């Protein structure tokens, strides 16, 4: 009985293997390369990430993830002029790309958004929560925001007289709209 069960399991696995290979082969090669680039970059293997990004750019020279990835690889190698070229291309192709400010900061640039966020932080620290909320809104204004920046915004909003309820609902409603953005903790009311 046990032997037949094992044989059935092995037979099922052998029949399923070609279907799994076929499913992987039919995946979009561009997305596979993008995933490889992101994987290698996340594991601090710029050499392998660069190979993946170069392949992506041969297929689609305007692919934002690859432009960003190559910019980051070159910035990590201290090749500022090469990274700057990729940043310029990225700004032209995808001006609202989520990591564009991060790449600029790696190259020593400060974006107008950075200045607005710094102003909002100063206002929040000085107890001017309503003004801080206005500055955070200006900084975020339709652009992708990091979870940390969203958390700062909701904390400032919670400190305003009418903002507590909206701040309490905010992180959960943004998670529903954008599953990749998650608050690290819920906002707390200042006493």
Per-residue model confidence as pLDDT tens for the chain (191 residues) = 555 666 666 656 555 545 444 445 457 899 999 999 999 999 999 999 999 999 999 999 999 999 999 999 999 999 999 999 999 999 999 988 888 888 988 898 877 777 888 888 999 899 998 898 888 888 877 666 677 888 888 888 888 888 888 888 876 654 434 333 333 333 443 33
pLDDT of residue 89: 96
Q: How many domains does the chain have?
A: 2
Tell whether 32 and 101 lie within a shared domain. Answer: yes
pLDDT number for residue 168: 82
Q: Are residues 98 and 117 in the same domain?
A: no
* C-alpha span between 167 and 154 (Å, rounded): 5
Q: Both 99 and 36 in a single domain?
A: yes
Q: Would you say residue 18 lies in a domain?
A: no
Same domain? For 66 and 116 the reply is no
- pLDDT (0 to 100) of residue 141: 77
Residue 16 pLDDT: 52
pTM value is 0.59
| Terminal Cα-to-Cα distance of the chain (whole angstroms) | 69
- Host domain of residue 48: 28-106
Question: If DSSP states are collapsed to H, E and C, what string results for the chain?
Answer: CHHHHHHHHHHHHHHHHHHHHHHHHCCCHHHHHHHHHHHHHHCCCHHHHHHHHHHHHHHCCCCHHHHHHHHHHHHHCCCHHHHHHHHHHHHHHCCCCCCHHHHHHHCCCCCHHHHHHHHHHHHHHCCCHHHHHHHHHHHHCCCCCCHHHHHHHHHHHHCCCCCHHHHHHHHHHHHHHCCCCCCCCCCCCCC
Q: Which domain CATH number covers 61?
A: 1.25.40.10
What is residue 77's predicted lDDT score, i.e. its pLDDT?
94
Do 44 and 101 share a structural domain?
A: yes
Q: How far, CA to CA in Å, does 138 sit from each of 31, 119, 157, 171?
A: 33, 11, 14, 18
List phi, psi (to 5°) of 150: -65, -40
**Is 141 buried (19+), middle (13-18) or exposed (0-12) by CB count in 10 A?**
exposed
């Amino acid at each position: 009985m046990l032997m037949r069960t094992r044989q059935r399991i092995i037979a099922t696995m052998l029949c399923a293997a070609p279907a799994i290979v076929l499913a992987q082969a039919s995946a979009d090669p561009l997305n596979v390369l993008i995933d490889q680039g992101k994987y290698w970059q996340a594991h601090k293997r710029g050499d392998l990430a660069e190979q993946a990004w170069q392949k992506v750019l041969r297929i689609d020279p305007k692919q934002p993830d690859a432009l960003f990835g190559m910019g980051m690889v070159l910035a990590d190698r201290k090749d500022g002029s090469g990274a700057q070229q990729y940043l310029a291309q990225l700004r032209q192709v995808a001006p609202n790309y989520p990591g564009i400010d991060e790449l600029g900061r790696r190259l020593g640039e400060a974006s107008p958004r950075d200045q607005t966020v710094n102003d909002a932080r100063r206002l929040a620290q000085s107890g001017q929560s309503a003004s801080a909320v206005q500055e955070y809104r200006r900084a975020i204004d339709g652009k992708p925001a990091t979870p940390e920046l969203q958390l700062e915004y909701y904390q400032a909003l919670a400190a305003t007289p009418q903002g507590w309820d909206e701040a309490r609902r905010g992180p959960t409603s943004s998670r529903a709209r954008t599953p990749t953005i998650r608050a690290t903790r819920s906002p707390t009311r200042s006493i």
